[in-house]
Structures are given as structure tokens and as C-alpha cells.
Amino acid sequence: MQKVILASGSAQRKNLFSILNIPFSVIPADVDEKLIRDNDLKIQAEMIARAKAEKIASQNAGIVIAADTFVVLDKQVLEKPVDLEEARAMLRMQSDREVVVYTGFCYLDGENKIDFSTTSIINMRLRKISDKEIDAYVEKFPVTSWSAAFSPAYPYGATLISEISGSFTGFTHGLPLDMLIPLLRKSGFEVLP
């Protein structure tokens, strides 16, 4: 079987991938995401994921899987906050509002001639969050490591969500298993619990 490489340093993606019972390596792609821009955010997310996958594939043999996730509110991309104050502001902005989550995804398997990339779009609404709860959340969790200052992969982060429409794992872990599992099977892997 081919080597499988997850081109991401995300702990959430690594944890999720590990449930598939497929041996894999983690090699984060060092790509300057700020240089990859497009007016269409769906295309931008896909371009970032593809840039990560292609960089790792150019240096390593095997199947390369990459993803990139960001959150958009009122046409503003909410990236990782620089500090706790910005995290608080982001959470206040999202309270009781709908946001759009873009997860770019790329799967490269040269041996089986599979070259796939797309963007999973998830619509999500946070419930109303009090300032006291926001303060407690930003003090307790690593909010500066997450786009939009929250992660539904952590149990408390999931309690902030009132509605979601789209790829569940594309949203919670930044890795759409609904797309990944069929591709792994095409590459010859038996994906079982």
C-alpha cells in the first residue's frame, strides 16, 4: 500500500484521521496562505488546500491529503485571532449570527491518477453568547490557534452552535470525511471502524 500523508499540522485533523485505522504520516505544508487570494472565497480555500498538497507531493511519494478552513461573517474572513482581545471581539461578532465556513480540500494520488480538490461550504449559526461566557471561553481554551476563535472539535465549542448545514467533519475538524473516505477506497484502502 502507498504511504498516506496528511499535509496539516492541525491536531483536530490528525485526531479525526486517526479513527480511519489507516497508517499515515503528518507533514505540515509550509505555505504562505496570505499570498493565495481570490475574489471567490470558495476558490481561495480550494487553492490553499491544493498549494499545500502539491508542495508536499513534490517532495514525497504517496497519497497527499490537505485542507484549509476559514470562517466568513459579512464578507469578512475571520482568521486566527492575534490575541485574546481579538478573540473576544470575534466571538461577540458571531454571537447569534450565521457564518459561512469554507473548508478547502485536496487529495492527490499519482499512482491511481486521482487528482481531486474542492471546497466544502458549511452554513453555521452560533447561539447567543454572553460576555461572561466569552471571557471564560477565551481564558480556558487555545482560541488564538483557531479561525474565528472557536473550535467545535472541543466539547465546549460544540455547545456554542445552534445550527449547522453542510459537511459535519468539514466543519468540526476541517477535514470532510464524506469526501475523503470514498477517495481512500478508490486508492485501494479498506476504511472500516
Active site residues: 68
d(CA 28, CA 157): 25
Nearest to 10 by CA among 175, 191, 188, 181: 175
d(CA 143, CA 76): 18
Q: Which residues contact 126 (CB under 8 A, 6 or more apart)?
A: 91, 94, 95, 96, 97, 99, 150, 160, 161, 162
Q: Which three cell numbers stand for residue 188?
A: 485501494
